[in-house]
Amino acid sequence: MSEARAGGQAGAGGLEPTRIALVGHCGPDSYMLRSAVGRAVPGSEVVMVHSMRDARAEMGKARLLLINRVLDGEFPSDSGLEIIRELLGARDETKASGRLMLVSNHEDAQALAETAGAMRGFGKAAAGSSATAAMLRAAVEA
């Protein structure tokens, strides 16, 4: 896939930028993740999500949702795993297209997220790595 498609291309007649939602992340983590996403998917549009209503809406808009393991914001649970389960259950009903990844350094949480139907995620400690950049590019290009 070309970089223009992966990162989007703003402007007249161009593609819309790739939309990536950061779900339930605090300010400092959002800044760090926004930087990592910007390096991995140049030209992407990164939005912050701090409620379940907005997370549901992003399932139909965002190409990728990066969900925090312990949520910051107004969610029915502070568990990112519960939000993944809920969003993926709703996806079957709405036919929404968003992909989900858990952001967590805990291997057991990553395994549970994958079992629930999310893509393999990454931890904040590795957010700036080349492996994570490749993972993010692959997720938006899939």
Residue 90: per-residue pLDDT: 67
Instruction: Check residue 98 and give its pLDDT.
Output: 72
Burial (Cβ within 10 Å: 0-12, 13-18, ≥19) of residue 40:
buried
CA 53/CA 4 separation, integer angstroms: 30
24-82 pLDDT, tens digit each: 999 999 999 999 999 999 999 999 999 999 999 999 899 999 999 999 999 999 999 99
The tens digit of pLDDT for each residue in 70-118 reads: 999 999 999 999 999 999 986 555 445 579 999 999 999 999 999 999 9
Tell me the C-alpha to C-alpha distance, in Å, between residue 51 and each of 22, 33, 46. 11, 18, 16
Quote the pLDDT of residue 142. 80
Q: Which residue has the higher pLDDT, 50 or 16?
A: 50
Q: Which of 111, 48, 112, 52 is closest to 78 using CA atoms?
A: 52
* pLDDT at site 2: 34
Domains observed in the chain: 3-141 (3.40.50.2300)
